[in-house]
Chains A and B, each alone.
Chain A
Amino acid sequence: MSKLKVENLDLYYGDFKALKDINIEVSEKEITAFIGPSGCGKSTLLKSLNRMNDLVEGCKITGTVTLDGEDIYKSMDINLLRKRVGMVFQKPNPFPMSIYDNIAFGPRTHGIRNKGKLDDIIEKSLRDAAIWDEVKDRLKKSALGLSGGQQQRLCIARALAVEPEVLLMDEPTSALDPISTSKIEDLAVKLKDDYTIIMVTHNMQQAARISDRTAFFLLGEVVEYNDTETLFSMPSDKRTEDYITGRFG
């Protein structure tokens, strides 16, 4: 069964229709990549999956998004939704506090106060995000002192700390050097054992390397949604072929 299901979704920013009749099913414990040129709607769709568009003025959404069969725009508590569907952004955005407090922030918000339990969550999250060994001796130091790549893994650890089921990643490596990028990629592949991951990326090779399925967006529509291998070797739509081979337009 699919973890997330988007059906007949239209999204408007005021009069502008940014997403047109999106239908996508995301399978559990797989990596799904969203690719497409800038402004095609992929990040917009990603944000609608945990209702990050709610606060955008003039944003109107029709259609349904269901998580395990439950409509996230109807009955679901938004805090619970964001606990279940975490997000990592393009630019690492650690809070201006210690590494420890960054990770503890989410669990504390959800009412965990017990020091021992918090310690466990912090170690586990940092380990899962493949950064524990690099920061274990300076947990009380500011997170802002970390390198870009470390900050991004910290943000992933912070997202993992509330034990989400789905992880949304919006170009998580576009601000990172190749070594940090490959660490995040390895991490994503490891994380899919436990999490469902959706990743927006401009890096075509990255999508081809790590994702199981890929959706190609153009002008607010999903042109093609297929197994990654098929999409990159035998795309069925000419527009996909033109985009991925760099002959777009």
Chain B
Amino acid sequence: MRNRFDEQLEVLNVELIEMGVLCEEVIAKAAKAFLEHDNEAAKYAISKDLEIDQKEKDIEALCLKLLLQQQPVAKDLRQISSALKMITDMERIGDQASDIAEISTMMRSKSFKKVEPIEKMSTATIKMVTESIDAFVKKDLQLAKDVIDYDDVVDDLFDEVRNELIDFIRQESENAEYYVDLLMIAKYFERLGDHATNIAEWVVFSITGVHKDLDGLHNSSTSDYLTKLLDQRKKE
């Protein structure tokens, strides 16, 4: 029963996976552009961002069509509404990754002091985005929770970067412009982590019907809530 609808939901799933793959690709290229001063990689990242924008429009149209034609309820409604929210974050991921690529092309490649935590940030955010999309594909609550928890790591790294950069600017004020660009990039990576977290939260909603923002879970953090939920599921 509902074969046609199930097929359409599968198409939606595939489209989301494709958009996710594009996001991973753009971040990876942007990181390469930044870390290795690779202008080709930067160009590639910027061009892929346009594909992501198009994908967002396509998925949005598909979701609206499904809402109109199928009037979904229960898990179908959650899947479609989560998809609609997730693509907004994915689109921002594309934008911010391409911003990183763009800033990288304008930075002088002469060797400055290495800011290690920023490299760690790039690895960490790629991991978060990849895993948030994996969590969606595999409907993996544990993986979604891991992503949400991992955001703290990225936030801490950002603080480290910021502190290091303040010191560097004090020491070499002539290179301040470069370090400020680095700070921008670090901030973009930090935001990428936030978007991955948002995606993971919508994955949780799509599986469980509970979203931290919708259900006033601000007091107990999402993570605590999920831990409880996962324990409960294990017992069942």
Report B-chain residues with C-beta under 8 Å of the C-beta of A244: 73-74
List A contacts of B76 (CB < 8 A).
245
Query: How many residues of chain A have a CB within 8 Å of chain B?
Result: 14
List residues of chain B with CB within 8 A of the CB of A248: 1
Most-contacted residue by chain A among B5, B74, B78 (CB, 10 A): B74
A-facing residues in B47-78 (Cβ within 8 Å): 71-78
Which residues of chain A have C-beta atoms less than 8 A from B73's C-beta? Answer: 204, 208, 232-233, 244-245
Q: How near does chain A come to B204, taking the closest CB pair, in angstroms?
A: 13
Question: Which of A233, A235, A246, A249 is B5 in contact with, Cβ under 8 Å?
Answer: A246
Min Cβ gap A172→B in Å is 20
User: Mask for A178-218, Cβ within 8 A of B = 1, else 0?
Assistant: 00000000000000000000000000110010000000000
Residues of A with C-beta under 8 A to B5: 246
A233 touches B77 (CB 8 A): yes
Q: Taking the complex as formed, is B209 at the interface, i.e. its CB lies under 8 A from any CB of chain A?
A: yes
CB proximity of A232 to chain B, nearest CB, Å: 5
B235 within 8 A of partner (CB): no
Whole-angstrom distance between the Cβ of B185 and the nearest chain A Cβ:
41
Smallest Cβ-Cβ distance to A205: which chain B residue = B71
B218 proximity list for chain A (CB < 8 A)? none
Most buried by B among A232, A241, A245, A248: A245
A233 touches B1 (CB 8 A): no
Complex: chain A residue closest to B72, CB-CB: A245
User: Which residue of chain A lies nearest to B210 when distances are taken between CB atoms in the complex?
Assistant: A234
Q: Residue of B at shortest CB range from A235? A: B74
Check if A249 sits within 8 Å of B74, measured CB to CB: no
Whether, in the assembled complex, B2 has its beta carbon less than 8 Å from a beta carbon of chain A, the answer is yes
Is A247 in contact with chain B by the CB < 8 A criterion? yes
* Total interface residues in chain B, CB < 8 Å: 12
Which residue of chain B has the shortest Cβ distance to A232 in the bound complex?
A: B73
Measured between beta carbons, the chain B residues less than 8 angstroms from A233 are 73-74, 77-78, 209
* B71 in contact with A232 (CB, 8 Å): no
- Given the contacts A233-B209, A234-B209, A245 and B71 also touching, CB distance less than 8 Å: no
Q: Scan residues 209-224 of chain B and give those whose CB is less than 8 A from a CB of chain A.
A: 209
B13 to chain A, nearest CB (A): 16
Task: Give bound CA distance, A235 to B73, whole Å.
Answer: 10
A232 to B209: give the CA distance in the assembly, Å: 11
Interface residue ranges of B1-20 to A (CB < 8 Å): 1-2, 5
Set of chain B residues within 8 Å of A235, measured between Cβ atoms: 74
Which residues of B are found within 8 Å of A205, using beta-carbon distances? 71
B75 contacts which of A204, A241, A249 (Cβ < 8 Å)?
A241
CB-CB contacts below 8 Å: B76-129 with A: 76-78
Chain A residue at minimum C-beta to C-beta distance from B81 = A233
Contact with B along A220-249 (1 / 0, CB 8 A): 000000000000111100000100111111
Q: Enumerate A135-188 residues with CB–CB distance to B below 8 Å.
A: none
- Of chain A, the residue at the smallest CB distance from B76 is A245
Q: Which residue from B1, B72, B209 sits with its C-beta under 8 Å from A249?
A: B1
- Chain B interface (Cβ within 8 Å of chain A)? 1-2, 5, 71-78, 209
A sample of 8 cross-chain residue pairs with beta-carbon separation below 8 angstroms, ordered by A number, consists of A204-B73, A233-B73, A233-B78, A241-B74, A244-B73, A244-B74, A246-B5, A248-B1
Given A204-B73, A234-B74, A245-B2; 16 other pairs, CB 8 A cutoff = A204-B71, A232-B73, A232-B74, A233-B74, A234-B209, A235-B74, A241-B75, A245-B72, A245-B73, A245-B75, A245-B76, A246-B2, A246-B5, A247-B2, A248-B1, A249-B1
Question: Which A residues fall within an 8 A CB radius of B?
Answer: 204-205, 208, 232-235, 241, 244-249
